A and B are shown apart, each in its own frame.
Chain A
């Protein structure tokens, strides 16, 4: 069974540029999460989807971050414009209802 797929794996951009990350969850997983992991820290939730509905986006900085999961399957997380402090690893995870989360390999973003 394929795991959670994320692309790109690495991204280097200059500040003020836009950037987008893509995630394809495990087939059949209705819940999808985006996490932010700073160096030396544990992941922090940005947004959680149940199917196509964002049910928890309280930690998403909405002035520059946006996300979508239009058909309730894959998802895109966007930052526009990127700031230096956005340099981090962006993790996507998925799960069934009441099951453990399965994480993708992450996208490492470097903002110069």
Chain B
């Protein structure tokens, strides 16, 4: 069965420190991987995606994610966290060759990021 796991319900970070939000996946083929962020009472906003190529993907608001095929992981990272980064983060995966609009996007349960001043 295809699935996405976000092992941490919540991640707490001090402002200015680096942050990591973890994601592992289990899908067939070469997956397309995404990160979305959700602020309170707002829809999900696209952060970044990995399709192919360089394993380190850079996205919006200074976020980046590293694709690790051997560990089937796609962890979200940021070198220096801001209080305004506090939100709910979702990892999502689409089975290989259907990463765009055509494939079903499977979401993790989400990780709440809390950045304290």
Contacts and interface: CB of A to CB of B under 8 A. Distances in A.
- The DSSP consensus for interface residues of chain A is loop
A41 B107 CA distance: 9
Contacts of A72: none
B46 A98 contact: no
A41 B99 contact: no
Given A42-B110, A100-B49, A56 B104 contact: yes
Interface stretch (B36-44, B61-69, B77-85): B36-44
Interface size class of A (residues with CB under 8 A): 20 to 34
Contact of A43 (B44, B99, B101): B44
Nearest to A3: B43
Contact of B43 (A41, A91, A96): A91
Interface residues of B, number: 22
Contact of B101 (A3, A6, A98, A104): A98
B29 to A, nearest CB: 16
Contact of A95 (B36, B42, B101, B107): B101
Interface in A60-112: 91, 93, 95-106
Question: Among the interface residues B42, B100, B109, which one has the most CB atoms of the partner chain A within 10 A?
Answer: B100
